[in-house]
A and B are shown apart, each in its own frame.
Chain A
Amino acid sequence: DQQVKQNSPSLSVQEGRISILNCDYTNSMFDYFLWYKKYPAEGPTFLISISSIKDKNEDGRFTVFLNKSAKHLSLHIVPSQPGDSAVYFCAASAGDDKIIFGKGTRLHILP
């Protein structure tokens, strides 16, 4: 039973355009959401997070939007850069220090 779902295994975006990565969750107890970025042969790198009391959090080129009623969150990257090519993991926590990860979306930034 997958509690965090990333339904797009991959996404290709032109350099300079907006990348939108989507994530759905099923557990209503999740109250904290995170995005990680992973390059090959490296561990995941924390990118940005959002608490369930907010609907938006922004950090530079990265913005995460949370729609609690739809149990949906998205990560926007604007503008997309070549170095953004990586696998992005959506993750969620129910406040017990455990993080549940989605399967990831591979983002390709096209020149």
Chain B
Amino acid sequence: SAVISQKPSRDICQRGTSLTIQCQVDSQVTMMFWYRQQPGQSLTLIATANQGSEATYESGFVIDKFPISRPNLTFSTLTVSNMSPEDSSIYLCSAEPGQGYEQYFGPGTRLTVT
């Protein structure tokens, strides 16, 4: 398994600003992912954070809005850019240690945009 921490745990931001969320894993992992969970909804994959290369984005998500960095095998950041109230959500980071398809999740970042 993997233990994952995220910072910040929550934030309230004004529209038009950007927030960077950090994700730290306690061991080296190949695969890291970023998800969004809107109120009452499922977890939706935003992108796969690839170490040493650009992130792979899912349909409906673009790099300009959600730039992702993955500088090494234990750390990744997600930036939510030019925020609007529709970006209010919980953002979750996960890692797949590689023994199966199980992903382990951080505690999430609750973002409110006013």
Residues of A within 8 A of B (CB): 4, 32, 34, 36, 41-46, 49, 89, 93, 95, 97-104
Contacts and interface: CB of A to CB of B under 8 A. Distances in A.
A95 B102 CA distance: 11
B41 interface: yes
Contacts of A43: 4, 92, 94, 105-108
A34 B43 contact: no
B100 A42 contact: no
B95 to A, nearest CB: 11
A1 B106 CA distance: 27
B105 A101 contact: no
Given A42-B108, A43-B92, A43-B107, A32 B43 contact: no
Given A43-B92, A44-B43, A89-B42, A99 B101 contact: yes
Contacts of B33: 98
| Interface size of B as a range | 20 to 34
B45 A99 contact: yes
Contacts of B31: 97
B96 A97 contact: yes
Given A97-B31, A97-B48, A98-B48, A46 B104 contact: yes
Contacts of B1: 46
Nearest to A103: B42
B107 A41 contact: yes
Contacts of A41: 107-108, 110
A102 B42 CA distance: 6
A95 B96 CA distance: 13
A46 B108 contact: no
Contacts of B96: 97
Contact of B101 (A44, A49, A103): A49
A89 B102 CA distance: 13
Contacts of B101: 32, 34, 49, 93, 95, 97, 99
Nearest to A97: B31
Given A43-B107, A43-B108, 12 more contacts: A42-B108, A43-B4, A43-B106, A46-B104, A89-B42, A97-B31, A97-B48, A97-B101, A99-B45, A100-B45, A103-B41, A104-B42
